Amino acid sequence: MKALFLIADGFEDVQFFCPFYRLREDGVHITVAAAVDNQAATGLHGYVVEPDMPIPELNPSEYDILVIPGGRAPEKLRLREEAVDLARTFVQDGTLVAAIGHGPQLLLSAGALDGKSATCDTGIRDDIRCAAAVYRDEAVVMDGALITARSNDDLPAFCEQIVLALAASAQ
């Protein structure tokens, strides 16, 4: 199993590290890609993460899941056409996508939430509604291959749903 994490400066540290280490515990190989030409990204709380490769070099078909942590990073990622295209490809291919907090902002720009049920940080719930998605105020919402969660408080349920979805897709 392989997971791809997309980050940029301002990512929510906990929303990156919790799923990152939870998936590593299960033996999932993780690749981290950053928004700016393979430069290190600094989280909201000062943690620095070195990416493994730049976004343009990624092949979405090599991954079983795309994980998009929240914070300010999704706003920066959605301004990078290669990140938007990558997210769109994952969704169109039916590959698992997991986004938490502000993570769904990238999916909005990719046009990937139309008609989908999703949750997110309350700060962008109106954006979700305006994108023709069905906003649900729940810890975790799964709609097909899309997994969304609201906030840090929902990380245990978010990580559990990711692990369950990966296990189901492996069968």
Order of strands, edge to edge, in the sheet holding 146-149?
A: 53-54, 29-34, 2-7, 65-68, 96-100, 146-149, 140-143
Q: How far is CA 22 from CA 69, 137, 158, in A?
A: 14, 24, 11
Q: Is 135 helix (H, G, I), strand (E, B) or coil?
A: strand
Q: Any catalytic annotation for residue 102?
A: yes
> Which of 78, 80, 102, 125 is labelled catalytic?
102
Helix (H) or strand (E) holding 107: helix 104-109
Distance of CA 66 to the CA centre of its chain: 6
Active site residue ranges: 102
